[in-house]
Each structure stands twice: as C-alpha cells, then as structure tokens.
Structure 1
C-alpha cells in the first residue's frame, strides 16, 4: 500500500540520492523525506523538478553537496529524532566492472555513512550497493565484517544483508542489488524478510505502449508494420539486461558492453546509443528504423528501471540517461521500505503499549496506597455534633 501525505508518519534522510530511484520507492512506502543529498548537479535538478512541485513531498530539501564535506548538524536534527537514514553509496569500489578496490577506493563512502549513523542515531539504516560487495564471498568478507561490527557497537541489529533481484519485484530488468538493513534493537525483531511480490514483467509488456506511440508520432508510411515487427521480436524475449549508466569519464550513452548489446538485440532494441524523445527526433532512420531495431529513449530506459511515468529527468540526453542507468529501481526500494515502515510501526506501537501499561501500574499503585493516618470519618462527624450541642447549651 502506498502511503503519502499525512499518513507518511516516519521520516527519512537519503544520501547519494542520484536521480531519486530509492527516494521514490521509499516515498511510496510511506516515508516523509526531510532531505535528499546528492553531489551531481544534473541529478539535483531532476530531484528539484519533481519534488518541489509535488505537495506530497512536503518540505523535503534537495541538498547539492559533497558528502565528505557535508555536516550532519546542518540537517537540524537531534540524535535519535530521525527514523531512517538511507543511501546508495557509490558502487565502483565493489563493481565487477571496476578494479574492486573496496576500502582502498577514494570513492568508498561506507565510512562516511557510518559516521552519519553515529551522528544522527536513526532508528533504521538502509544501504544499497552492487552485488559485487557480497560476491565473491572471500574478497570483501573482512570489510563487510567491519561494517557489521561498527553498526552493532552502535546498538543496531542486522535485519539482513543479501542480494535482491529487481526482476522479482515487477522491474523488467535483471538488476541484482546488495541491500543492507539494520535497525535499533527495539525494532529489529519486527522486521520480516522481503519476499518476491510480482510476476515477471517483460520488456514487451513494459514498452508496448510507449514504443507504439513513438512509431505513430513519426507517422512514416508503414509504421504499423515496423512496430509489429518490433513487438513480435520483443515477445520472444523476457526481461532486459542490466542498464548501465556509465561514468562521465567515458563516452556517450549506450546500453552497455558487447554482451549486453547482444541481449538487447534479441529484444529488438539497438544498444548502440540512446534515441531522442519523439518531440525532439530529427533522425528517424537512426532512432526508429535502424536494421538493428529502435533505440531506447531516456523515458523508456526509465520505464525499464521501474520509475513512474510522471518522473522527469533534467540535463542533456547523455546526462539524463546516466541518471537513469545508475538508479536504484523504485519498486525494489518500495518493497524494502514497506518492511522497514512496518517494523518501525510495530515497534512504536509496542513501546507505546508498554508505556501505557507502566502508567497504568503507577496509577494502580497510587490508588492502593493507604490514606494518611487519623480518626475514622464517623468519629469526626460525632465530634462535630458534640461541639454543636455544647454551643447550644
């Protein structure tokens, strides 16, 4: 169930928010974001364009900052006041596609995340990263142990640290992500494992409407035939390979390495680049009618990532595509967020119940305490009557 507005009773601060994939999912799960912190200016523009115009996000602040230089005090929160601290810390230190330097990588922000946990003392912590952090088991085992030990010293209990596959949560894409959830002891026991919640959504089903709209908007003769050919090809496949956002150090946007492009080709999609949106298309031959099939637009890539259709991306095409490709799928964040929300809610109610019971015991104790010593009421009444009689005489 999606909770927003007044029903969103638990607060959240998110670091490394990117274009808002995790934030969108947690928002749908019921969390009221106080701040989204992100270093990339284009991503911050995306967050502002969506959050500041939507009243359901309340007074959520978008903060463009380098997390290593950011001060938790600037949030204006007292220790223990925040319900959830969440974030998708940079993945290159642990990615199979990188050098896997882990803690030796200058981009590793796990230490800063743990510092913020110590400074803010949230009731719950959620950290998302690539599967490589957990696989292979031996490579980062010692580093994972250090993270767990640090959290446990701060009185957190690990709910789980496992790999969730986006395909199992309604995302038409193979995208395994390592998810760590830790909670204060009084909430930990209420947390339940996140089970797969949806049947597989295929690329054909996810893109059917938008792809038809693109061909129809072009209006070239025979567009219906080209569209049908694409749909027939897409139906032969299932979900998409992992979207790759890449980095600013490399060239323009495409859909990944050779193996990924081949997988996209089997779905009728050309992976050699990203298409312009229909209203901006200047080369139908390149974007729609290539022998390799149509290219994806940024909006279609966002659909593959599980973003709602209303979420808009700022910046030029390549920058916008990178925001999408590097995002955490909102449906997965929503599924995990709902379990955290439920555990916080159950823990809060239990604490309130205990408090009420303790108050009731105090009241009962007060009622059973003997009254101050002194003569019985009957003796007081008799003495007053005798006094009146004496005055009359």
Structure 2
C-alpha cells in the first residue's frame, strides 16, 4: 500500500506506518537535521525496506502533489507542527504561523487517499481550543469545502456545520474518528498523550475504531506492590515503602484476587535496563547516541522521570533548552540527563536508528516525534481495515 508523509521529523510516525506495511513514496520535512537523520538511516538501511525512501526537504506550503495522482494513495499521514497547541508553548493555535494543519487538509483534498492519519498534541483538546478542534475535524470530513479568501476561520466553520447538518454533500467526504491516546497504554515506556484524527474515504464503506489499550497502570502497580514480580524480574529489592500517591489505588488492588487482562505499563527501567552506564564525551560500545550530557539540575516543575514508572513526556524544548523532563531521577536521589539513545528507547525507536546533530538537536527531534510503537498500533489497525477492502 502506497503512502506519503508530511512533517516527518525524525521518522517516528513514518517508521510505525512502514512497519504496518505502507510503502512511502515521499517523506516531507523542512528541518535540515531531521532530514539528515532520515537520509542517513535510509542509506544505512537501519530497517529493511527503507533504503528507497525519498526524503524531500521542503516547505509543504509550496508542495505540489500532482505527481502522485488523485485517489491513488492508500494513506496520507503526518504529525503537523504542534507548538501552536502545545501546553508548553504560547497557545496561539489558529493564529500561529506554525500551524500547518491547513496544509495537511490541502494534501488530503488534492490527493484524496483512501485513509489518513493526523497526529497532534493533547493541548489541542483543551477547552479553549474546542471550536478549533471541531473546525479541524469538519475540514477533514469535507476537505473540498474550502476556506474562501479573506474568510475568517469561524465563518468557514459555520459553513462546514451547515454542510454537515444538511446531510446531502455529494463531494469528497471522509468518515473521521478522533481520540486522545496515552502511549503508555500501548506499551510505550512513556506517559505521552496525543490526539489522533483518522479518516476513511466515504466510498470505501469501511467501519473502524481505535485499538483497545493493551497496558495499564493498575497492572504495573499490581506487579510492583502486590505480587512483587516486577522487582524479581529485574533482580532488585523492592522499595522499603510504598509510594503515598498510590495509596488509594493500592487499597483497591489489594482486594483483587486475580491478575489484570492488560499488561503492565512499561517503565524507564524496562526500557534501558540493558544499556551500559553512559559516560561523558564517549559513546558506549555498540550503541550510537549513547553518551552522557552533564549538568542536569532539577527546578520547580521539572524533577525528571522516576526509574520505575513510565517516563514523563519528553519535551522538544522549543520554549527553552531541552532539560527539565528529559532527565532521569534515580532511586538514590541523583539526577542525570537521558542520553539520546535512552530517549530513543523511550520513544521506541530501534537501536539501529541514528540521530544526527548535537544532543540538544537530537533531543528536539525526539521530543517532537510520535512513538514508533504507538504509530504502529494505529497504522496496523488502519492497514488491516484497508486490506480487508481490497484496492491498491
């Protein structure tokens, strides 16, 4: 199945859709370091089948998609720049020049793929953005009902609402489903909430829903503080006391007499346990991007990620130097920065995937990425549904 991807970044979503069986005819990204990361990994064939990836360093606002034809692609995917909606950014949303969601809508309109996957940050679901969230959903539902020149987005929203309520739209239409997913619920060792818009072209007649979570905090707490299997598996002693913040949850779980149907959330320890201790200025053995960046310090609101829980959301640092939540908080009270390789593990990139650029640049790429395994869960489900209907 053929696809293209916009706003590819370091390749998290692209890898997830690739693993799901989509063949990328083009990857579009404007950032030079991110493009170099993609090209170097394609040249090295970090994963089978990616050597032929065509990476385009381009501004999507001037992209032409004519070479792909109309209605020929199975999937258009992308994680549009999230700073306009990020909880850590300036919250300018539709008024932010970095808002590239309209360009994703244009790609869907011009390419008319059988399906699309759009990913963005949790901040997009904030109450203050509620109307704009609905505006995005309706634009993707009726991509040929375009915004007029000099028309305010609110006026365009009202026209789209009228099209929806009339229920007789004969043009291009997508059946769009949205959901806020926590990557930890799907086996990613990081609490990372992202909103997904998934659409299927109406003429496919396909019905689809988001995959059910496979992992849970309850199952992790059960393994750590009820059975103790987590500590036995890692060959370490269990903590002398149970975390106070889990008090209520533990009291509920202690009454349970059977294990959970879900798997435990994966922790930072699960993710990095087999990596050697990093050193300043030196790569470690066979693992690229695994050297220690010194100078980690805690400050209010940024205290690092505990070893025996999923990591906090990795940050891209667009509003400051990456640090804060890109740190590991060890049980003995020490703090240190995650190495790029450790952060890549937390984003479920394969160890063969090398990141170009200095530590801060590589961490920015990772902070902007979609976790590969989360992308693969969603993309696999979409691919399975598309295969069931035949087609390309």
Alignment TM-score > 0.5, same fold: yes
Task: Output aligned runs, 1:1-393, within 5 Å.
Answer: 10-54=1-45, 56-57=49-50, 59-73=52-66, 76-136=67-127, 139-154=128-143, 155-187=172-204, 189-198=206-215, 199=263, 200-212=265-277, 237-247=308-318, 250-251=320-321, 253-256=322-325, 264-265=328-329, 292-348=334-390
State the 1:125 CA deviation.
Answer: 1.1
Give CA-to-partner distance per residue, 1:31-52, whole Å, 9 cap, x none.
Answer: 1111110010000000001123
Give CA-to-partner distance per residue, 1:245-294, whole Å, 9 cap, x none.
Answer: 112x733x3243xxx76xx42566xxxxxxxxxxxxxxxxxxxxxx7244
Q: Secondary structure at the match of 2:141?
A: helix
Tell me: CA distance 1:77–1:204, structure 2 relative to 1, closer, same or farther (3 Å).
same
Task: Give the Cα–Cα distance (whole angstroms) in 1 for the partners of residues 77 and 181 of structure 2.
Answer: 16
Does the aligned pair in 1 maintain the 2:177–2:209 contact within 8 Å? no
State the 1:58 CA deviation.
Answer: 5.4
Task: Give the Cα–Cα distance (whole angstroms) in 2 for the partners of residues 217 and 26 of structure 1.
Answer: 30
Task: Report the TM-score, using the length of structure 2 for normalisation.
Answer: 0.69
Q: Secondary structure at the match of 1:250?
A: coil
Task: Give the Cα–Cα distance (whole angstroms) in 2 for the partners of residues 306 and 236 of structure 1.
Answer: 16
> Which has the larger share of helix?
1
Does the aligned pair in 2 maintain the 1:159–1:188 contact within 8 Å? no
State the 1:218 CA deviation.
Answer: 8.3
Larger Rg: 1
Aligned residues: 295
Tell me: CA distance 1:338–1:48, structure 2 relative to 1, closer, same or farther (3 Å).
same
Does the aligned pair in 2 maintain the 1:301–1:321 contact within 8 Å? yes
Counterpart of 1:278 in structure 2 is none
Q: Secondary structure at the match of 2:200?
A: strand
Task: Report the TM-score, using the length of structure 1 for normalisation.
Answer: 0.69
State the 1:236 CA deviation.
Answer: 6.7
- Ranges in structure 2 where 5+ consecutive residues have no aligned partner: 144-171, 216-262, 286-304
Q: Secondary structure at the match of 2:131?
A: helix
State the 1:321 CA deviation.
Answer: 1.6
- Ranges in structure 1 where 5+ consecutive residues have no aligned partner: 1-9, 220-233, 269-290, 353-393
Give CA-to-partner distance per residue, 1:54-112, whole Å, 9 cap, x none.
Answer: 25125321000111122223xx1110011100000011111111221111111101111
Task: Give the Cα–Cα distance (whole angstroms) in 1 for the partners of residues 205 and 362 of structure 2.
Answer: 38
Q: Secondary structure at the match of 2:84?
A: helix
Give CA-to-partner distance per residue, 1:105-148, whole Å, 9 cap, x none.
Answer: 11101111111111111111110000011123xx2222222222
Query: What is the CA RMSD across the aligned residues, in angstroms?
Result: 2.7
